[in-house]
Structure 1
Amino acid sequence: MEGSRADDPPRIGEYVTLARLDAAYGSRTPPERRYLARSADGARSVWVSLPAAGVDPVRWAAEARQAGELAQPGLWPVREVGGTTAFPWHATPYRPAVPLTAALAAQEGPLPEETVRMIGATLAEALASTHATGLSHAGLSPGAVLLTAYGPVLGCFGAVRATAPDGAPRAGLPGVDQECLAPEQLAGGPIEQPGDVYALGAVLAYAATGHAVPERAEIPAGLRAPITSCLARDPEARPQPAQLVGELMPSAGYGTLTLGTEPTPLPGRGGAALSAQAAHTLAARLPTEVP
């Protein structure tokens, strides 16, 4: 986290903003503006999200309402949607969380292969659950992945859909991570489920190498096949998320990785989700109390 800036709103709805969740990590910015905030009476602490600068607030609010209706395992839960047409926001109860971008900054480089496998399998299972409803997530990027003591969860639902309607090229538009957009989506094609798989490949490439569009040789040998298959230019050639769970974590049965929208602690799960090496690095940076 970092302190509020001069252009940050001091209040969002009933909440007083305390800090930004996302610090600046080079040119990679999150799809939303996210804040730690507290109710005016001091009784509740929450994470509050606003659309990124330049994003259509009406389209963004529609995605926030859709996210609030979902109860899919592995998705960051949206528990409250508010604001106005020009200034929408959504909120979820506070829990310690670190963006994937912050994890790489803390690690001072790529994450260990074991960690990347666990993150990837958990996100793939979350995508499979979302796809089973007929929806696509359309917002997966390094900034959308939040690491918690219970494992990774996926936020920023619908960030790509919020930028522009189908048919409008999305290259250079605010609110999306361009390197995580599938080629067909960059060109303005429909937002469909294979685009989520491409974005997952870009996220895992980023976690494993430090950037989302690496050369094939840069990817660790054990991750090369699943990551490059996700990044296939042909949407039909990309694997199904459930298939990726088995490739990334062969010992994990489908349905055992994500813990639900309101996770329940399991013994040792935090260490397993982040791996022993990464968990030690990140534990010191996970705020256990709200400032």
Structure 2
Amino acid sequence: MERLRQDDPVRIGDFVVLARLDADGSRGVPERRYLARSADGGRTVLVCLPPAGGDPARWATEAQQAVRLVQPGFWPVAQVGGSPAFPWYSSPYRPVLPLPAVLAAYGGPLPEALVRTVGGTLAEALASAHVLGVVHGGVCPAGVLLTACGPLLGCFGATRATAVAGDAPVPATVLETGCLAPELAAGGPADRAGDVYALGAVLAYAATGQTVPERQEIPVGLREIVTACRSRDPEGRPEPARVLAELLPGAAYGALTASVEPVSLPGRVVEALSRQSAEVLAAALPSPER
């Protein structure tokens, strides 16, 4: 858990803020994310606000769309509230680390086996969304949330393909993290190929600590699929189902995102998840006056 700053909210809707999820100086965070508890102490949640300087109305619209994105592999949005100027959404709390925090806890780039598990699970989630005509539009390292049972894609940025056929803006988070496909940078709409490009950036980040590494910096076993995902030609990028097959040959489609079994995580990452859980359980509700 990260300490609150003076400019952080004390309450969000019915919830009292306990701590921030993201550390100071975290880049590319798609929204302001807080660990919070209901005033009666009965519910602990992850509650999110628009990013500072973002468009609250646009963010609120995407949060409403994310409520309907209920298939496995996505971080669930359970409640949307607030006002047009101060929208928020909440999700039931579970111990979770954004991908940059995972690398920080581990002490550097992740082992290739874990990168394959994370990438394969995210590819499966995107494949299931794309079948439904849903484009995520905001895949980035900070939007990947790792739990004991594997990664989930944060829903912020999720837009229906039919809604982005025109000139819908690309979420600002991808502009800062090297996840923006060239055609989107040129003004094109968010689409499935753009999601795959961003997935390649997430794989690169997990394996090297950078979203735009040099080709030789990428582990040999991941080099071809990461390079294919990050092709400048959208037509040259693989479909998410192929990314899954390349990363985890023989994996049964649908088994990863639906799994409720713990995945194999490095001890330091497990320790960080356990420490967060213990701190949340022990946290007392702060005074409303700070």
TM-score, structure 1 as length reference: 0.89
* 1:152-231 aligned within 5 A: 152-158=151-157, 167=167, 173=172, 176-231=175-230
- 1:7 partner amino acid: D
For 1:169 and 1:178, locate their aligned partners in 2 and report how far apart those are by CA, in whole Å: 16
Alpha-carbon distance, 1:177 to partner: 3.4
> 8 Å contact 1:169–1:187 — kept in the other structure?
no
For 1:69 and 1:50, locate their aligned partners in 2 and report how far apart those are by CA, in whole Å: 18
Name 1:64's counterpart in structure 2: 63
Task: Provide the secondary structure at the position in 2 that maps to 1:258.
Answer: helix
Name 1:16's counterpart in structure 2: 16
Alpha-carbon distance, 1:25 to partner: 4.9
Deviates more, 1:38-47 or 1:175-184: 175-184
For 2:169 and 2:189, locate their aligned partners in 1 and report how far apart those are by CA, in whole Å: 11
Task: Provide the secondary structure at the position in 1 that maps to 2:256.
Answer: coil
> 8 Å contact 2:201–2:212 — kept in the other structure?
yes
Name 1:120's counterpart in structure 2: 119
For 2:174 and 2:110, locate their aligned partners in 1 and report how far apart those are by CA, in whole Å: 25
How far does the alpha carbon of each residue in 1:115-158 deviate from its partner, in whole angstroms, 9 at most, with x for none?
Answer: 10000000000000110110101111000001101110010431
Q: Does 1:47 align with 2:40?
A: no
For 2:117 and 2:151, locate their aligned partners in 1 and report how far apart those are by CA, in whole Å: 9
Task: Provide the secondary structure at the position in 1 that maps to 2:89.
Answer: strand
For 1:159 and 1:31, locate their aligned partners in 2 and report how far apart those are by CA, in whole Å: 12
> 8 Å contact 1:55–1:175 — kept in the other structure?
no
For 1:35 and 1:185, locate their aligned partners in 2 and report how far apart those are by CA, in whole Å: 30
Q: Which runs of 5+ in 1 are unaligned?
A: none
Task: Provide the secondary structure at the position in 2 that maps to 1:180.
Answer: coil
> 8 Å contact 1:159–1:176 — kept in the other structure?
no
For 1:159 and 1:209, locate their aligned partners in 2 and report how far apart those are by CA, in whole Å: 26
How far does the alpha carbon of each residue in 1:68-93 deviate from its partner, in whole angstroms, 9 at most, with x for none?
Answer: 01211100000000000010000001
For 2:159 and 2:184, locate their aligned partners in 1 and report how far apart those are by CA, in whole Å: 9
Name 2:256's counterpart in structure 1: 257
Alpha-carbon distance, 1:252 to partner: 1.2
CA 1:245–1:3: 2 relative to 1, 3 Å: same
CA 1:160–1:101: 2 relative to 1, 3 Å: farther
Task: Provide the secondary structure at the position in 2 that maps to 1:211.
Answer: coil
* 1:1-12 aligned within 5 A: 1-12=1-12
For 1:160 and 1:62, locate their aligned partners in 2 and report how far apart those are by CA, in whole Å: 9
For 1:99 and 1:169, locate their aligned partners in 2 and report how far apart those are by CA, in whole Å: 24
CA 1:62–1:2: 2 relative to 1, 3 Å: same
Name 1:38's counterpart in structure 2: 37
How far does the alpha carbon of each residue in 1:251-271 deviate from its partner, in whole angstroms, 9 at most, with x for none?
Answer: 311111102xxx63x2xx332
Name 2:243's counterpart in structure 1: 244
CA 1:50–1:165: 2 relative to 1, 3 Å: farther
Task: Provide the secondary structure at the position in 2 that maps to 1:251.
Answer: coil
How far does the alpha carbon of each residue in 1:212-243 deviate from its partner, in whole angstroms, 9 at most, with x for none?
Answer: 00010100000001100000011111000011
TM-score, structure 2 as length reference: 0.89
> 8 Å contact 1:74–1:258 — kept in the other structure?
yes
Aligned pair count reads 275
Name 2:286's counterpart in structure 1: none
Q: Does 1:288 align with 2:277?
A: yes
* 1:56-135 aligned within 5 A: 56-135=55-134
Q: Which runs of 5+ in 2 are unaligned?
A: 284-290
Name 1:270's counterpart in structure 2: 263
User: Runs of at least 4 residues of structure 1 off by over 4 A?
Assistant: 164-171, 173-176
How far does the alpha carbon of each residue in 1:138-184 deviate from its partner, in whole angstroms, 9 at most, with x for none?
Answer: 111000001101110010431799xx99548869x467534111111
Task: Provide the secondary structure at the position in 1 that maps to 2:105.
Answer: helix
Task: Provide the secondary structure at the position in 1 that maps to 2:255.
Answer: coil
Alpha-carbon distance, 1:29 to partner: 3.1
